[in-house]
């Protein structure tokens, strides 16, 4: 390679590495702020502040959803399979909300570590399949469980 070009290539590579390292350190330092939500374990370990708007994410625990028959109030638990957090919410839940589904709720923690949510968002995973296949899988699962 021509020496001038080689020098320019080295300069550009060096600039890229330096900026990359700077951005990397910045993102590392901001990691807690870039995470969209706290996990139930983080809340159980007291990492999340009280009385500040924050988000909690996790799976809705099976059979934990309790709806008020008169109002839109609903209470449920989310888990990361290590710890659980109770969430209270008043409003319309997204279509994808169901037991076993990942959700992210935004609100404030009270003294009992119950999240008083103002917004509940549903998270979905990266797997897609037609309804017939999902049904067939469910049936197969029930069959093996009953056996």
Partner 1 sequence: MNWIWFHKLGSPKWFFQWANKWSKFAFFIGVLLLTIGVVWGLGFAPADYQQGNSFRIIYIHVPTAILAQSCYLGLGVAGIVSLVWRMKMAPVFIKAVAPLGAVMALIALISGAIWGKPTWGAWWVWDARLTSVLILFLLYMGVIAIQNSLDDMQLADKAVAVISVVGLINLPIIKYSVEWWNTLHQPATFTITAKPAMPMEMWLPLLLSTLGMYGFIAGVAMWRMQAEVLVREHRANWVKKEVLDNGI
DSSP 45: T
User: Which position among 46, 111, 125, 144 is part of the footprint of partner 1 (CB under 8 A)?
Assistant: 125
Smallest CA-to-CA distance from 109 within 60, 33, 37 is with 37
Q: Does 115 bind partner 1 (CB under 8 A)?
A: no
Cβ-based nearer residue to partner 1, 27 or 116: 27
Applying the rule CB under 8 A, the residues between 62 and 81 that interact with partner 1 are none
Buried b (16+ CB within 10 A) or exposed e, 52-83: eebbbbbbbbeeeeeeeeeeeebbbbbbbeeb
β strands within the chain, DSSP E: 54-60, 66-67, 73-79, 84-90, 102-109, 115-123
Member of 129, 140, 141, 142 binding partner 1 (CB under 8 A): 129
Retrieve residue 86's tokens.
């109770």
Interface with partner 1 in residues 19-58 (CB under 8 A): 19-20, 23, 27, 31, 34-37, 39, 57
82 binds partner 1 (CB under 8 A): no
Report yes or no: 56 and 99 within 8 Å, Cβ to Cβ.
no
Q: Closest CB to partner 1 among 93 and 147? A: 93
Q: Does 12 bind partner 1 (CB under 8 A)?
A: yes
Minimum gap (Å) between residue 104 Cβ and partner 1: 6
Residues binding partner 1: what is the number (CB under 8 A)?
A: 39
């Amino acid at each position: 390679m021509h020496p001038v070009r080689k020098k320019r290539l080295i300069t550009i590579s060096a600039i890229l590495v330096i900026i990359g390292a700077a951005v990397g350190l910045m993102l590392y330092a901001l990691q807690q702020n870039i995470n969209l939500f706290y996990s139930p374990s983080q809340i159980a370990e007291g990492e999340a502040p009280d009385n500040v708007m924050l988000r909690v994410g996790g799976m809705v625990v099976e059979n934990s959803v309790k709806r008020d028959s008169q109002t839109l109030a609903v209470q449920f638990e989310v888990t990361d399979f290590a710890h659980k957090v109770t969430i209270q919410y008043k409003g319309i839940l997204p279509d994808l909300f169901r037991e076993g589904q990942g959700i992210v709720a935004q609100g404030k923690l009270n003294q009992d570590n119950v999240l008083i949510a103002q917004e509940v968002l549903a998270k979905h995973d990266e797997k897609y399949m037609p309804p017939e296949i999902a049904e067939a899988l469910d049936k197969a699962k029930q069959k093996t469980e009953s056996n």
